[in-house]
Each structure stands twice: as C-alpha cells, then as structure tokens.
Amino acid sequence: MSDSSTTDGSAPRAPFAPWDRRELPGRFTVDETAKRVGHYKWIEMRIFELMGGWVATVPELDVKLRLGTHCYHHAFHAELWHKRLPELREMNPERLTLPPNPEMEAFVEALGAPEGPDKTIEKLVGMYRVLLPRLIAAYTFHRNNTSTITDSPTIRSIGFCLQDDLAEWQEGEMILQSLLVDEATVQRAAARQAEMEQLITAAGGVVGEDSIGSFELDEG
C-alpha cells in the first residue's frame, strides 16, 4: 500500500532524493572562504609571473614550451579566483588578494631567485617538487571540506585548477627527471628541495597554517 502523504501534500517532501546525500554545513565560513580564495589568487598570479619570466631565461627548448603552456594555466586560475571574490564578499577583490603571511612572501621570493640560464634544475625543483604539490594539497583539502551545496562555485573552480595542476605536476616531474643525469645534478636538486621545503613549511603552506587542516592528538 502506497503512502499517500507523499502525493497529497500532507507531509513535507524530503530535501534530497535518496541518491543525493549531500551535507549543507561545510568547514569554512564565508569570510574564511573569501580569505582562502584571496590567497589562491595571489599565489596563482605569482606562479604566472614566475613561469612567464622563466620562458625567456631557460635555454632548454622543451622546458620553454612547457613553461609557456603552464604559465597561462595559472593566469586562467587567477582570473577564476578574481571573479569568485565579489560573490563571497561585497568589497574590492584586490583587498583580499594577498599572501597569508610574510613567510610565504619569502618563499616566493626565493622561488624566483635563481635567474641564470644554468639554474633550470633549481627553478623546476622549487616549482614542481615543492610549490605545485603544496598547492594541489591545499585545493584538495578545501574541496573535501566545503559544502557541496552552498559552495559549489568554489568547488567547480577548484576542479579546473586541480585538473591543470595535476597534469603540470606530471609533466614538470618528467622534464626534471630528464635533467638529473649524474650525481652532481641529483645533489643540486636535493639541496634545492630541502631549502624550499623549509621555507614553505615555515609559512604553513600556500594559505598559511590551515592549508591542509591540522591533526588533533587522541588523548584517549
């Protein structure tokens, strides 16, 4: 026997269908989301500028071609976040476009420091072995902890960014491996990675201490 209350209006309809079990609350408030998005826009702009500058200085043609493609990905990402900011806060987006802390500014400055044509390994290590993995982690954490209902536009933008960043990470790593041909180049890469990891760790990640959340000790 069917339940007539589902058709005669005597009982409220369930908010979601049985196959749709989304949850309304997310981890981030509107202000917290706006703050993170401002940090995303800032770092994406910095990546675009750095990669674009490197195209003119690296001597390897295959590296030039990949950097040229990748830098415009990040210009697109910065534009995505620029358009998202007014939807989150009724204010000038430029006021939220800033680094999370001075330590992250120091990291980006160090990332762009190797300028010579003989520093391709140092450039690629900082970008593809340190910054991009951290950015991917921050985006993934945000996507996994926000509301799929109220924050779906942000989730969609993160999806575009992750699609590009994951492909870049793979391509950058393959190019980098092709440049590590002996003990000296391997040592250069290792030293550069250690240097850059220390700097970004001091910053707490690309959006600060809450880049990928925090673990709470189990006192039980």
Residue 187: how many other CB atoms lie within 10 Å: 11
Q: Give the domain CATH number at 116.
A: 1.20.910.10
Count of domains forming the chain: 1
Packing angle of the helix pair 152-179, 30-55 (nearest 10 deg): 30
pLDDT tens string 208-217: 999 998 765 4
Residue 16 has pLDDT above 80, yes or no: no
Backbone angles phi, psi at 128, to 5 degrees: -90, -20
Q: Which two tokens stand for residue 24?
A: 């309304």
Amino acid at 10: S
pTM score of the predicted model: 0.86
- Which range of residues forms the domain containing residue 184? 27-203
Residue 85's pLDDT band (cuts 50, 70, 90) = confident
Whether 15 is covered by a domain: the verdict is: no
What six digits make up the tokens of 140? 């993934």
208 belongs to a structural domain: no
